[in-house]
Amino acid sequence: MMSDAKTLVVKVGSSLVTDAGRGLDVAAIARWAAQIARLRSLGRRSILVSSGAIAEGMQRLGWTRRPRAMHELQAAAAVGQMGLVQCYESCFREHGLHTAQVLLTHADMADRQRYLNARSTLRTLLGLGVIPVINENDTVVTDEIKFGDNDTLAALVTNLVEADALVILTDQAGLYELDPRKHAGAKLVEQAEAADPRLEAMAGGTGSAVARGGMLTKVLAAKRAARSGAHTVIASGREPEVLVRLVQGERIGTLLTARTVPLAARKQWLADHLTVSGQLRLDGGAVKALVRDGKSLLPIGVVEVAGEFQRGEVVLCVDPDGREVARGLANYSSEETRRIMRRPSGEIEAVLGYVDEPELIHRDNLVLL
């Protein structure tokens, strides 16, 4: 499957680009540049999602302990980003390749126009033969808008450009059925479906003092990337020439396959919202209408409204037990929705004094989760 991939998103974790958290490992970054240059010679296009900015910033500032305060983390990221990009640029220049820095926040993904702009820019860069180096825009993020880890960011970028494959490189050989740090005979999961719920139970916590994302974030990233039809490999970045060997068809690490039909671009944008403005609790009939019958959501099927949102904002739909079933663009604000919920669409005008749409969320603006 990897041998067929023409466009790849490659995520390298902190432990693979830093010297145990003490600044950047220039020799390691040079090896990644050499591999990606080789992929290009094999006709593959690559986007790199790289950690390491905060670790490099800490080293440049002389800090030995990762700060907890948001403004100090943002300062370290701003300083470290200079070194990270400088290092990648010089290493890729050795192979005659240009790089581009792209910093993203969730706000860029949540806004439809900015989402399309980012998509267009990345596709243009790939068409020009440039290697985009992507990171979260740590300098401006807040808890409400940050991705939280580069595994999630890499999956969102995979969906954004409709890449064929996501390669998550870590310091472990892949996903194990049990935590290999605690169980000596733990068995490696060589292949599974990305949507298999058992994978989340297998995934453990973080094992590195520097890295943020554990194996669970990698499994969830693979599940997210599968929505746009991309397969994911979780493999060790310590394996020699791992990227080249993967695209040549060698089986390394854990392959998590996408079985779903890729979502249309607009619905992919809806599905990739990490934060939503409000939540609608539906009755059983409404859940059935959405999930089984492919219908729109009508006000009569809503039993509870949580949060505050405006017309056109993304809201989450949950079943009577609180499980996520869908999300979509609301045709009415939260205040209006509270007034018309549990009522048939024919009464909307009598209640509100006007009617925009008979549906609370139209099927075209709704994606099942």
Instruction: Give the least confident one: 61-75, 138-152, 225-239.
Output: 138-152
Same domain, 167 and 299: no
Q: Among 208, 232, 267, give the residue marking a domain's end.
A: 267
pLDDT confidence of 210, banded at 50, 70, 90? very low
CATH number at residue 307: 2.30.130.10
* Residue 128: partners with Cβ closer than 8 Å, 6 or more residues away: 98
Check if the beta carbon of residue 274 is closer than 8 Å to that of residue 224.
no
CA distances 86 to 11, 30, 31, 83, Å, are: 18, 12, 15, 5
Rounded to 5°, the CA angle 150-146-83 comes to 55
Same domain, 236 and 320: no
Same domain, 136 and 236: yes
Tens digits of per-residue pLDDT, 139-150?
777 665 577 688
Same domain, 319 and 284: yes
Q: Among 267, 294, 320, give the residue marking a domain's end.
A: 267
CA dist 267 and 276 (Å) reads: 15
Domain count, the chain: 2
Same domain, 364 and 235: no
- Residue-number span of the structural domain to which 238 is assigned: 2-267
Residue 236 has pLDDT above 80, yes or no: yes
Question: Looking at residue 205, what is its pLDDT?
Answer: 44
Kindly state the average pLDDT of the residues 121-132. Answer: 96
Q: Among 215, 234, 267, give the residue marking a domain's end.
A: 267
Tens digits of per-residue pLDDT, 312-348?
889 999 999 999 999 999 999 999 999 999 999 999 9
